[in-house]
A and B are shown apart, each in its own frame.
Chain A
Amino acid sequence: MMSQAVPMNKNDAQMREHLKSLKEYGMIIALVVIYAIFAFMSDFKNVSPMNVNNLIMQNSYVIVLALGMLLCCLTGNVDLSVGSVVAFSGAIAAIMVVDYQMAIPLAILAAIAIGLLVGFWQGFFISKLGVAPFIVTLANMLVFRGLALVVLNGQTKGPLPQEFTQIGAGYMPQFFTTIGGTKFELLALTAGLLLSALIVFMEIRSRRNKAKNGFEVPSVAASVFKVGVSVIIVNFFTVKLSMYMGLPLVLMIVAILVAFYAFLTNRTVPGRQIYAVGGNRKAAALSGIKVNNVMFWIYVNMGILAGLAGVILTARNASATPKAGDMFEMDAIAACYIGGTAVPGGEGTVTGAVVGALIMGVLNNGMSLLGWSVDVQRVVKGLVLLAAVAIDLHFKSKKNS
């Protein structure tokens, strides 16, 4: 296709492709391995249908937050306020429902609207006044945690009615059937099969596109392996879910959001602009990208997702507490970096962030099942984050030498 390839570059390019795929698979393999280790250690408690269900319910809000955090991280920044915003927005929703008997959809919208306003507020300082996002969000972490305590009077607000809690703890319509003495839910099984078909279709399309554009097409074995692993993972989850209560409502919310953000980052102009701003702010600005606008909307987006996570968490707990969402920002940030997002920005994927969040989730869940204390859990999570980023950097420096 191109003339006069320089031999050193050729080698370099192959190496790069190789490492890139290794990194992508590496994370998924790490997830499977960690899950397997805890399976053995917990006497397979963590693969029980109920626990798989819990795993998803417990981690849904971390994934929601990680999606927003990914955009912040892609620009080389973070949002430290999300945990506090989760608490505050959840508190307002709970107060509206419990104290003022307001309509539940209204309360939910109000919580998300609060996230939106927080986003405008932070975006204003970041993009209009040029205050570093780290500082702005650190300050607001304190502000909104404080406000959550104030509006709740330091008390737990609840219980919330079932119509509210089902967002975090409810299920999609259930169609049970019995196969060989075991009860299965059909919608979950169907969803798994449909998703598998979609994965196969996407891989075929991607191979066709690569061939059409003259790019190197991965070997059939590699594709089969990749598709095979993905299909097994998907169906593992859906089969387990179908053996319990079917598809959690919150899983649907997460799935829609993941699809949306994957599309946003891969296939839209705003997505590409975010990568460019993270990769080189000055070059992005001189290419016509309004860097300040991009930053503004990234933090508005994060605010909305934090509001939504607040609703989900409050619903799952059936009450709002001032301590809700404590350290969630750290889980979300860790998910992004474990998922291979570059610390200076400009590099990172939705898949990575989701897998990162799942790794954190599987760790949390596994350690809880084993009865490890919260203190030890923190130590382990910290070490995993450190190890993930160090390994990532190690591979990068190897590539450069």
Chain B
Amino acid sequence: MDNILEMRHITKDFSGVKALDDVNLVVKRGEIHALCGENGAGKSTLMNVLSGVYPYGTYTGDIVYNGQVQKFSDIKASEKTGIVIIHQELALIPLLTVAENIFIGNENLMYGGKVIDWEETQRKAAEVLKSIGMHENVNRKVVDLGMGQQQMIEIAKALAKNAKLLILDEPTSALNDEESNTLLELLLKLKKQGLTSIMISHKLNEVSRVADSITVIRDGHTIETIERDHGTPIDEARIIKGMVGRELTNRYPERHAQIGEVVFEVKDWTVHDEDDPTRERLSHISFNVRKGEVVGFAGLMGAGRTELAMSLFGHTYGFESQGHIYKDGQEITMPTVQSAIDQHIAYVPEDRKTYGLVLIDDIKWNMSLASLKSRFSKKGILNPDAEIHAAEDYSKRINVKADSLTQRVESLSGGNQQKVVLAKWMLSDPDVLILDEPTRGIDVGAKYEIYTVINHLAEAGKAVVVISSEMEELLGLSDRIYVLNEGEIAGELQKGEFDQEAIMRIIMAHSARRETA
């Protein structure tokens, strides 16, 4: 096998600070090459250099692609040679159709290249979809597709550009296990057809499953390239060691929490769909959480976990919620977010950038936002000193890495952003915390730190609910797991009896029961 790509001695600095320092990357033709490293290690920067986002001349070193030194001036130039990058944030236009999206910027033209040939566009789009084993109407709007399908459309779009080297930045970060699986299978299939891919991912189980070789980057340096030894998947612990520079023996820190009486209980909770009020989105949900306990909510994407959390938390989701909520044995209601906060319930939303943070504001403003009334003001007048002290205190406690509290949160890494959101809700003095996807898109080191915070919360007697699409994480964190499926509680598992299989079995059995019913 020859090398399709060699990046030699790449150095890239941003106003004096080296983001990449003498990085080397060799990718063989026809392989899946994974790029691993913590957030901020330089993976995305390296891929931006390769795809021409940072044009020739802004970095030093050589990009040798197909045996030739390339000097890309922009993305168009790299795409012409067959290098196509799919960014983590998908670049699809929601209200355009699948076919339109696949050929956006790469239109099929007729009449001397002035007018779009829609028939050709649709025909070709259908062809590309078929080649990746997707049977979707090309005239459907992208907004109506699930995240998994959207990711596939991105790949179709790349293939339509005649990609020879496909770069995928965190392709499965927004997908559930099933969708991720489909995507990875597709990558393996495309590999057989001769496509080379470079994949950036935090999900090491996926990396070790599909990658032929892995290059580990840390602090802008290449640490090592690990080759797959015939068929044997690459050891995850080995990758982690390279990424963090030390052995991380246990990915889930130990917890010494005293589990007490039931703090939070929901009985017979039924909520109607926001878009279709005739439909029950959640029906007759009952669950409870004890003091010092971490309770996991498992389920496939669309099972209704986020909807459940939000319908409880200030009725921020759904219509006509019915049922009973009890806290410390007393029935309570939470018609508004403020009333939930006042009753010491906190919800840390999924997707921190959209729902959790005011990105243009600084760390202290973000941390104080949910407790302005209760903690940081008297008669509506703010106390900036209290704000600074609390932010300082919590930054230290949960190890937010920033140079100043006045730093805007948009410039923080994902892990540190997540810590800011956590701090914000810890400051609201909750007894019950609902954490929705608390570690999505953050690296192993930061995940460990978040788990530690969760443990401290439980040890301090808080009741913690964790919603996560990463099954492994739920298994590692929870004392008890509820399995949610199609808006119903499909089962409950105690520690000791849960594993990935048991959860999937409950989901399958429940779906089957519903179909026959």
Report which A residues bind B (CB closer than 8 A).
Answer: 1-13, 15-17, 209, 212-216, 267-273, 275-276, 279-280, 282-290, 342, 346-347
Contacts and interface: CB of A to CB of B under 8 A. Distances in A.
A11 B377 contact: no
A288 B401 contact: no
Given A5-B401, A8-B14, A11-B15, A272 B382 contact: yes
A13 B405 CA distance: 10
A15 B355 CA distance: 28
Given A3-B399, A5-B401, A11-B16, 8 more contacts: A3-B401, A209-B385, A214-B392, A215-B404, A272-B382, A276-B358, A283-B355, A287-B370
Interface stretch (B147-155, B333-341, B454-462, B504-512): B333-341
Interface string B298-324: 000000000000000110100000000
A215 B363 CA distance: 14
A346 B406 contact: no
A84 to B, nearest CB: 32
Contacts of B230: none
B408 interface: yes
15 contacts: A13-B406, A16-B408, A209-B385, A213-B392, A216-B404, A272-B372, A273-B372, A276-B358, A283-B355, A284-B358, A285-B316, A287-B369, A287-B424, A288-B373, A346-B361
B57 interface: no
Given A267-B384, A286-B349, A9 B403 contact: yes
Interface string B399-426: 1111111111001100000000000100
B517 interface: no
B452 to A, nearest CB: 15
Interface in B1-32: 14-17, 19
Given A2-B403, A280-B359, A8 B369 contact: no
Contacts of B340: 288
Contacts of B359: 279-280
B369 A12 contact: no
A287 B361 contact: no
A288 B341 contact: yes
A9 B355 contact: no
Contact of A2 (B347, B357, B395): B395
B115 interface: no
Contact of B337 (A213, A215, A285): A285
Contacts of B407: 9, 12-13, 16
Nearest to B413: A6
A-B residue pairs, 10 tightest by C-beta: A279-B358, A288-B338, A5-B403, A288-B337, A287-B370, A8-B17, A280-B358, A287-B369, A10-B403, A288-B341
Contacts of B314: 288
Contacts of A279: 358-361
B73 to A, nearest CB: 16
Contacts of B411: 9, 12
Contacts of B405: 2, 215
Nearest to A1: B392
A16 B408 CA distance: 9
Contacts of A214: 392
B348 to A, nearest CB: 9
A269 B360 contact: no
A347 B365 CA distance: 13
Contacts of A268: 377, 380-382
Nearest to B310: A286
Contacts of B388: 213
A280 B357 contact: yes
Contacts of A17: 406
A279 B358 CA distance: 5
Nearest to B220: A8
A90 B382 CA distance: 36
Contacts of B424: 287
A301 to B, nearest CB: 15
Given A267-B382, A268-B381, A347-B360, A5 B337 contact: no
A13 B363 CA distance: 12
Given A3-B401, A13-B403, A279-B361, A284 B369 contact: yes
Given A267-B382, A282-B355, A346-B361, A2 B338 contact: no
A214 B364 CA distance: 14
Contacts of A346: 358, 360-361
A4 B401 contact: yes
Contacts of B412: 9
Contacts of B356: 283, 286
A17 to B, nearest CB: 8
Contact of B380 (A5, A270, A284, A347): A270
B476 interface: no
A286 B337 contact: yes
Contacts of A8: 14, 17, 19
B246 to A, nearest CB: 15
B393 to A, nearest CB: 11
Contact of B402 (A5, A276, A347): A5
B372 A290 contact: no
B396 interface: yes
Most A C-beta atoms less than 10 A away, residue of B14, B349, B411: B411
B40 interface: yes
Most B C-beta atoms less than 10 A away, residue of A214, A268, A275, A286: A286
B354 interface: yes
A286 B336 CA distance: 10
A44 to B, nearest CB: 43
